[in-house]
Chain A
Amino acid sequence: MTETTATPNPVRERKVNLHVLGPVLALVALILLGAFLNSNFLSYGNVTNVLARSAFIGIIAVGMTFVITAGGIDLSVGSMAAFVAGVMILAMNALIPVLGIGVPLVLAGMAVALVTGLAAGLLNGFLISKVGIEAFIVTLGSMGIYRSLTTWLADGGTLSLDYAARSFYRPVYYDGLLGISWPILVFALVAILGELTMRHTPFGRYCAALGANEQVARYSAVKVDRIRMGTYVLLGMLVGLATIMYVPRLGSASGSTGVLWELEAIAAVIIGGTVLKGGSGRVWGTVTGVLILSLIDNILNLASIVSPYLNGAIQGVIVILAVVLQRGRKSAD
């Protein structure tokens, strides 16, 4: 691996394209397979469904790309999403008498979600970079904490947004601009901004430097703690953003919201070609990874060629294959 240097090198452009090819090939193969198995696969409705439902994991996975690139990991994002959704629903229900049902209520709810996500990310980041506990342990702990807090808030049941408020808020998931629904637009925007940040800002380069070699980064005057904390805060805020898109879909949160999202997000990042031990991150790759994961589910549902008991096994095989394809290309360089 020679990608530890911070400055992009135009001569390496061709090689980078080869790296990108693995996951893209897998994605194209899946799309062809889907189109072959079911004529509705490429219909407007199905494509919109798949993209919109990828958006939650996708937005989170973009943030996860930064955390992993900087050599960290965050296992708490799934339960954090559940917790943020729970807090957001409670806050919105409580604010109805004050704000009434309308745009201010929705904006207040969104602000609560972003702030809760930011606070949760800040807490993770603080414990990891200032207190110096391993990211795996901190986020394993906060994963349990957020999950039980959600169950506790919901009294073991489900938190539901007030019906009228929900009807007002619902278009945020189901409507959109020019036939493209909001979650897809937000996901696209986050991906583009993420790619720009990763490639063209000091923050992105510092993340890669930190993930590649912390000592060297420290001696190169990179504010290591601050960058590391920054990745977790960014991820927390993106979890908040994903929740803003998630809550209007079903208008509820419970202890079973967002289960295993963390692993899906991490898997998407790795399928996309970011190295699990850090040092090199690709946001576009992550987007490809997210799409691959959702398409597998979609195709299995549309095709029903195998017993549904085996869905998990097929997903596993495709995830591993996508990474093998990509690593194969890499070693061939």
Chain B
Amino acid sequence: MIRRNFLKSAALVAGLASAGAVAAQDESYTIGVAIPSATHGFMGGLNFHAREAIERLEATYPQLEFVLATSGDAGKMVNDVEDMVATRNIDALVVLPFESEPLTAPVQAVKEQGIWVTVVDRGLSVPGIEDLYVAGDNPGFGREAGEYFVEQLGEGDDIVVLRGIPTTLDNERVEAFEKAIEGSGINVLDMQHGNWNRDDAFNVMQDFLSKYDKIDAVWASDDDMAIGVLEAIAQAGRDKEMWVVGGAGMKEIIKRIMDGDPQLPINVTYPPAQIATAIELTALAMVSDTPVTGRFIIGSQRVTPENAKDFYFPESPF
């Protein structure tokens, strides 16, 4: 973590030095954006959409200026946020907390200085600090997938589930999924953690395939895991036997749904572009009187072959 931060802080300091000279005029505003660095597919997508939104807004509103900081861990993120307040005199902060607990007090301190605070995706541990909360819908993510399983399967059908890294987020998704399929007679043979990782998911699925002769469907709960799962199924030559539902809307998967792949009937979104929503709304709050305070929960939508083209972003890394 420390290693990764070294270059980034250097870059940030350089950025601060060059832009710090631009004095804040009365009607100009500076918005700080603090997000985790692009360590895996989803965060890569999030970084991409954050940069895109900033570019777009800087072109639209010349009076807006942005400071973007990406951090490899919570401690670094706290430093970044403090630096933004101390040296850039930000008027608003958009933050996706690396972890809820360590970021709560520093963000609260920012709020107490009268700075607008937008919190994205992971909430702070004390409610009511932020002016605006933008997030994806984790229970909805599990529920939407579960409802599709109930529509397609019935009494006595067998499924396996791959879970993510053990976290609250994963628990919320899985609980909602289990609740959605309750009473449908669908039999969950097994659940194991594939850690949102292709290789881990490949290994877990290989073992599921050795263990169970009959599997009707797989809830891979993530698109990276779905890739590993599909490969394991192909290796076992059981492609005709079961379908797979991933999640989050990775472009390769969306493309295959668009092409009508029978193994990938649907997907459930959990868009990394939610950071763009947060930045846009914050910008609106700065430049206009549009009321944007409150909570903005982005629904988890079902992607089907019919609507897949609306969710396909070939330029994004995710």
Interface on A for B, CB 8 Å cutoff? 38, 40-41, 43, 45-46, 49, 53, 140-141, 143-145, 147-148, 151, 154-158, 160, 174, 249-250, 252, 254-257, 259, 297-298, 301-302, 304, 308-309, 311
Contacts and interface: CB of A to CB of B under 8 A. Distances in A.
A302 B236 contact: no
Given A156-B41, A156-B45, A301-B211, 4 more contacts: A144-B4, A148-B3, A156-B39, A174-B235
B317 A144 contact: no
B252 interface: yes
A38 B211 contact: yes
B261 interface: no
Contact of A255 (B7, B40, B199): B40
A46 B40 contact: no
Contact of A311 (B45, B193, B199, B318): B193
A156 B47 contact: yes
Interface of B: 3-4, 7, 37-41, 43-45, 47-48, 163, 166, 190-193, 197-199, 202-204, 206-211, 224, 227-228, 231, 235-236, 252, 316-318
B203 A156 contact: no
A255 B38 contact: yes
A248 to B, nearest CB: 10
B211 A40 contact: yes
A143 B4 CA distance: 10
A77 B3 CA distance: 16
Nearest to A41: B210
Contacts of B38: 151, 155-157, 255
Contact of A308 (B7, B163, B198, B202): B163
Nearest to B193: A308
Contacts of B207: 46, 49, 298, 301-302
B199 A250 contact: yes
A254 B210 contact: no
A144 B3 contact: yes
11 contacts: A53-B206, A151-B37, A158-B317, A250-B198, A252-B227, A254-B40, A256-B197, A301-B204, A301-B208, A308-B192, A311-B193
B41 A157 contact: yes
Most buried by B among A49, A140, A257: A49
Contacts of A250: 198-199, 202, 227-228, 231
B204 A156 contact: no
B203 A255 contact: no
Given A156-B38, A249-B202, A308-B192, A302 B4 contact: no
A46 B207 CA distance: 7
Which of B45, B47, B163, B199 has most A Cβ within 10 Å? Answer: B199
Nearest to B196: A256
Contacts of B41: 156-158, 254
Contacts of A259: 197
Given A250-B198, A250-B228, A301-B203, A157 B317 contact: yes
Contacts of A304: 190, 192
B177 to A, nearest CB: 16
B210 A256 contact: no
B317 A297 contact: no
Which has the most chain B C-beta neighbours within 10 Å: A143, A157, A302? Answer: A157
B206 A49 contact: yes
B306 to A, nearest CB: 24
